[in-house]
């Protein structure tokens, strides 16, 4: 299973004149390194997050989950493609401890591991 990390950095900037709200982080660092401001790292906190949470965080950051090769539900794109390439009764390419069943559900055709991992992947893109 892949690990994803979220780091929150709190950096205090001391200055005499207001800093515009649209100032980019690189400019703030430059102002603290060689300009009219003093910077002070106050806090550095890193947390592990799951794929689903990372997908949401990437979207909130105006990026796309595919930046980390995951879909909007946090599923690894290479895992999805591996499951989509299976035939019924193939060994599960993810856990190697079960067979894959293809089944029809109300929301389309799915490849489902009937073994250890229980992965379920739509056989067609779900346009998320």
Could you read off the pLDDT of 55-69 as tens digits, one per residue? Answer: 999 999 999 999 999
Phi, psi of 29 (to 5 degrees): -60, -45
Mean pLDDT score across all residues of the chain: 92
Helix (H) or strand (E) holding 49: strand 38-49
Per the listing, tokens 């690894």 go with: 76
List Cα–Cα distances, 49 to 58, 74, 110, in angstroms. 12, 11, 27
Q: What pLDDT digit, counting tens, does each position of 65-92 carry? A: 999 999 888 888 888 889 999 999 999 9
Residue spans of the domains in the chain: they are: 1-49
pTM of the model: 0.68
How do residues 93-128 score in pLDDT, each as one tens digit? 988 888 999 999 888 899 999 998 888 889 987 554
DSSP run (H or E) holding 10: strand 4-14
């Amino acid at each position: 299973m892949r690990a994803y990390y979220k780091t929150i950095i709190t950096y205090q900037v001391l200055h005499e004149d207001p800093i515009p709200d649209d100032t980019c982080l690189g400019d703030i660092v430059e102002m603290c390194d060689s300009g009219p401001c003093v910077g002070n790292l106050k806090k550095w906190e890193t947390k592990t997050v799951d794929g689903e949470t990372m997908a949401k965080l990437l979207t909130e950051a105006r990026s796309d989950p595919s930046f980390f090769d995951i879909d909007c539900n946090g599923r690894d794109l290479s895992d999805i493609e591996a499951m989509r390439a299976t035939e019924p009764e193939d060994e599960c390419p993810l856990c190697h401890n079960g067979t894959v069943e293809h089944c029809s559900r109300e929301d389309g055709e799915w490849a489902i591991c009937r073994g250890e991992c229980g992965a379920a992947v739509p056989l067609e893109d779900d346009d998320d």
